[in-house]
Amino acid sequence: MRNFGYMEKGQNSSLSDLRLWHRILKKSEGFKVPISLAVFLSLGVTFSALSLPYLMKTGIDAYITATELPLDQRYGGLAKIGGVICLLITTGFILTFTQAVLLEWVGQSVMHRIRQQLFGHILDLDLSFLSSQPTGRLVTRLTNDVQNMYEMFTSVLVTLFNDILRLIGILVVLYLLNMQLALVMSIFVPLALVLTLVFSRLAREKFRAIRSQLSKINSFVQESVSGISIIQLFGRQHLWHEKFEALSNEYLSRTLKQIRLFAAFMPLTEFMSWLAVAMILVYGGHLVMGNDLSIGELIAYIAYMRLFFQPLRELAQKYSIVQSALASAERIFDMLDTKRQITEIEVPHHLAEARGAITFSSVGFGYEPDEPVIKQLDLDIAAGETVAVVGPTGSGKSTLISLLLRFYDPQKGTILIDGCQVKDLSLNQLRTIVGVILQDVFILDDTLLKNIVMDSGISRDEVEIILARSGMAPFIAKLEHGLDTRIGDGGRELSTGEKQLLAFARALCRDPAVLILDEATAFIDSETESILEAAIDRLEDRTSIIIAHRLSTIKRADRIVVMKDGAIVEMGTHTELLQKKAHYARLVELDTFKAV
């Protein structure tokens, strides 16, 4: 299983953390009926498993050894009991199967629900939080952690229902059969429990030691493979081999320690069951001699004691599963408890008809509080205006867009759309009013049409009209299957320019009042470029902000804003700025050398 080079730190969650248990249980709300059914089924399963030795006993005592009865009555009784057993084991079979599938369904459904909730929650969190988290960690939360939690969910349920119920059942039967013998046998309960607990604790340590060594080996291999050329060039193979052998030897010695533990524990449980048999023979035999116990009961006792040790082994194994699952559950809940900083106000304003006038008023912002990226920025953009923002990398152009979209909130100043503060709008409305065309596009492995429509719910005809109106129809016509061309994995690969066209089409389908275009810096073929330009030309009444990299685009803008070091240094039309012979003029001059 991939973990993206990300290893989870060991965490110890307490089994007795009741609040955690409570939260886990709350997640299974709505599954009360199937869970109760599963409990009911496990009563049946236990009953059928435990009545088998009892029926055997009855067969022995009532018919096989009952020499005083006439022969055909003994034969007939035996057959009758055989029939009952047959019925019982078939029922047991069906019940066990039903229960297993039912629990799987409940467990998986609950986990699915948690996974969905977590996924939605992660998508909803602040970018500033998400970018501080390694990708591997977030993915682990969604996949492996949920999976771990699932293991526990079913294990705990199965354990609680079946194993513990069975243990209790066996004890009850033992007491019913013979009180005195049962009292003697009861000493095995604490004995077995202590042994099991000690073992599972030790086993957990050993497993952890093995896992951590294995991850050392894995990262060593990874590092060696990525540095292989250097290792070979400098002739260090022998050294690397030695290092690897040392890791490999340590791994071996840790696995051997684990083998020793298992080699000691596994036979011990078996020994206990033979010890029980020996005790039953001596003490039970004594009771039989005193006519306090029948032969059948003695045989049944032996059979029940063997059944008794089986669930104990299972419990030992499950203990460690539950431990690691609780750690996962805790991590999941921690993530769910993470609140976003960028919040919506309780009753967001609603702009019925957005026109798209934008105002940045003394905006100040830095990703780190003491490293400002935007300084005291004022900018008014009228509705319907096209503004080109230019400036060197790192001047704050993209940050401006991030602020407008409320990926981050500015530390100082306010941002308004049509006179309404962006933080008073719902995030959804804000991001619908402001449509973006970034350099990067999120592509679904589906048809072009599906990729344009996404979840906007518009029809194919409408898409075609929009494409025709914005001059993008030639782009579609170029593709062999038109709108039905498959793109993404296993489909046609899109060039940088085509990706921008797709983003364009997507944005237009949502009919935003403000359009933001982050022009591609990479090379775009001239045909695509002319389509793009035509599309920009036809934006007309829409407010557009273009982070421009091409002179042709810049010239078309109503106004050019030149940014440097987080502030606006110049503003005006192309001709005005050229005449100034300052920042913009020099940028234009440089642009001619872009080919190098």
Partner 1 sequence: MEYRNEKKGIEQNDSETSPVSFIGLVRQLLADQFVTHRYRLLAGFVALISVDFLQLSIPLLVKRAIDSLAVQEATMALLIILASTILAIAMTVVVLRFIWRMLIIGFSRYLERALRNRIFSHILAMDQYFFSNRSTGDIMAHGSNDLAAVQMACGMGMVAAVDALVLSVAAIGFMVHIHPTLTLYALLPLPFLALTTRILSAKLHHRFNHVQEEFAHLTEFARSAVVSVRLIKAYTHENSQVGDFDRLGRRYVHANIRVALIHGLLFPASTLIGNLGLLIVLVYGGRLVIDNSITIGDFAAFTTYLQMLIWPMMAVGWVANLTQRGVTALRRIHGLVTSRPILIDTSDDKAEFPVSGGFKARDLTFSYPDSSTAQLSNICFDVESGIIGIAGKTGSGKTTLCKLLIRLYPVDYQTLFYGEIDVNEIPFEQLRSQIAYVGQEPILFSDTIRANISFGIDDPSSEKIIAAARDADIHEEILGFSNGYDTIVGERGVTLSGGQRQRLALARALLYDRPVLVVDDGLSAVDTATENNIVSALRRRFSGKTVFIVSNRLKLLSMTDRILILEEGQLIDEGDHHILLQRNSFYQAMHLKQMQEDQGLSHA
Between residue 538 and residue 567, which ones bind partner 1 under the rule CB under 8 A?
none
Classify residue 502 by burial, with Cβ atoms within 10 Å: 0-12, 13-18, 19+: buried
Residues paired with residue 256 on neighbouring β-strands, in sequence order: none
Q: Helix, strand or coil for residue 163?
A: helix
Binding mask 135-154 for partner 1 (x = CB under 8 A): x--xx--xx---x-------
Is position 588 an interface residue for partner 1 (rule: CB under 8 A)? no
Spatial distance between the Cα atoms of 421 and 423, rounded to a whole number of angstroms: 5
Are the C-beta atoms of residues 568 and 531 closer than 8 Å to each other? no
Is position 124 an interface residue for partner 1 (rule: CB under 8 A)? yes
The nearest distance, CB 16 to partner 1, in angstroms, is 30
Is position 10 an interface residue for partner 1 (rule: CB under 8 A)? no
Spatial distance between the Cα atoms of 591 and 185, rounded to a whole number of angstroms: 91
Stretch that binds partner 1, among 8-16, 134-142, 362-370, 464-472 (CB under 8 A): 134-142
Determine the straight-line distance between the first and last CA of the chain, rounded to whole angstroms: 45
Is position 286 an interface residue for partner 1 (rule: CB under 8 A)? yes
Rule CB under 8 A: choose which of 59, 311, 396, 566 binds partner 1: 59
Is position 569 an interface residue for partner 1 (rule: CB under 8 A)? no
The nearest distance, CB 320 to partner 1, in angstroms, is 18
Give the Å distances, CA to CA, from 6 to 49, 141, 144, 220: 45, 12, 12, 14
Spatial distance between the Cα atoms of 388 and 396, rounded to a whole number of angstroms: 14
Nearer to partner 1, 171 or 210 (CB): 210
Is position 119 an interface residue for partner 1 (rule: CB under 8 A)? yes
**Residue pointed to by tokens 């060991």:** 10
**Residue pointed to by tokens 């073992």:** 199
Rule CB under 8 A: choose which of 361, 432, 495, 530 binds partner 1: 432
Is position 306 an interface residue for partner 1 (rule: CB under 8 A)? yes
Spatial distance between the Cα atoms of 335 and 141, rounded to a whole number of angstroms: 8
Type of residue numbered 280? I
Spatial distance between the Cα atoms of 227 and 237, rounded to a whole number of angstroms: 11
Rule CB under 8 A: choose which of 30, 40, 76, 101 binds partner 1: 101
Minimal CA–CA distance to 464: which of 421, 405, 508, 514?
Answer: 508
In sequence order, the 6+-apart residues with CB closer than 8 A to the CB of 384 are: 355, 356, 540, 541, 542, 543
The nearest distance, CB 324 to partner 1, in angstroms, is 17
Crossing angle of the two packed helices 295-337 and 165-177, in degrees rounded to 10: 160
Spatial distance between the Cα atoms of 504 and 533, rounded to a whole number of angstroms: 11
Is position 457 an interface residue for partner 1 (rule: CB under 8 A)? no
Sign of CA dihedral 496, 497, 499, 503: positive
Tokens of 231: 């290792």
Is position 93 an interface residue for partner 1 (rule: CB under 8 A)? yes
The nearest distance, CB 27 to partner 1, in angstroms, is 15
Is position 496 an interface residue for partner 1 (rule: CB under 8 A)? no
Is position 132 an interface residue for partner 1 (rule: CB under 8 A)? no
Is position 267 an interface residue for partner 1 (rule: CB under 8 A)? yes
Crossing angle of the two packed helices 496-509 and 526-537, in degrees rounded to 10: 20
Is position 278 an interface residue for partner 1 (rule: CB under 8 A)? yes
Is position 459 an interface residue for partner 1 (rule: CB under 8 A)? no
Beta strand spans in 412-518 (E): 412-417, 420-421, 434-437, 514-518
Are the C-beta atoms of residues 405 and 437 closer than 8 Å to each other? no
Is position 85 an interface residue for partner 1 (rule: CB under 8 A)? yes
Touching partner 1, residues 19-58 (CB under 8 A): 49, 52, 56
Touching partner 1, residues 372-401 (CB under 8 A): 392-394
Is position 289 an interface residue for partner 1 (rule: CB under 8 A)? yes
Rule CB under 8 A: choose which of 160, 197, 198, 259 binds partner 1: 259
Touching partner 1, residues 195-234 (CB under 8 A): 214, 217-219, 221-234
Minimal CA–CA distance to 501: which of 522, 523, 470?
Answer: 470
Tokens of 261: 């533990």
Is position 590 an interface residue for partner 1 (rule: CB under 8 A)? yes
Nearer to partner 1, 189 or 443 (CB): 443
| Pairing state between β 567-572 and 559-564 | antiparallel
Spatial distance between the Cα atoms of 280 and 287, rounded to a whole number of angstroms: 10
The nearest distance, CB 12 to partner 1, in angstroms, is 21
Crossing angle of the two packed helices 237-279 and 295-337, in degrees rounded to 10: 140
Rule CB under 8 A: choose which of 271, 367, 522, 576 binds partner 1: 271
Stretch that binds partner 1, among 297-305, 322-330, 462-470, 477-485 (CB under 8 A): 297-305
Rule CB under 8 A: choose which of 189, 195, 454, 479 binds partner 1: 454
Is position 186 an interface residue for partner 1 (rule: CB under 8 A)? no
Rule CB under 8 A: choose which of 17, 75, 187, 334 binds partner 1: 75
The nearest distance, CB 19 to partner 1, in angstroms, is 27
Is position 262 an interface residue for partner 1 (rule: CB under 8 A)? yes
Is position 320 an interface residue for partner 1 (rule: CB under 8 A)? no
Q: In what order do the strands lie in the sheet with 434-437?
A: 434-437, 514-518, 543-547, 386-390, 559-564, 567-572
Is position 313 an interface residue for partner 1 (rule: CB under 8 A)? no
The nearest distance, CB 455 to partner 1, in angstroms, is 4
Stretch that binds partner 1, among 188-196, 264-272, 368-376, 408-416 (CB under 8 A): 264-272
Distance of CA 25 to the CA centre of its chain: 19
Beta strand spans in 143-292 (E): none
Rule CB under 8 A: choose which of 82, 183, 345, 411 binds partner 1: 82
The nearest distance, CB 108 to partner 1, in angstroms, is 4
Is position 411 an interface residue for partner 1 (rule: CB under 8 A)? no
Is position 302 an interface residue for partner 1 (rule: CB under 8 A)? yes
Is position 428 an interface residue for partner 1 (rule: CB under 8 A)? yes
Nearer to partner 1, 20 or 52 (CB): 52
Nearer to partner 1, 69 or 189 (CB): 69
Are the C-beta atoms of residues 193 and 143 closer than 8 Å to each other? no
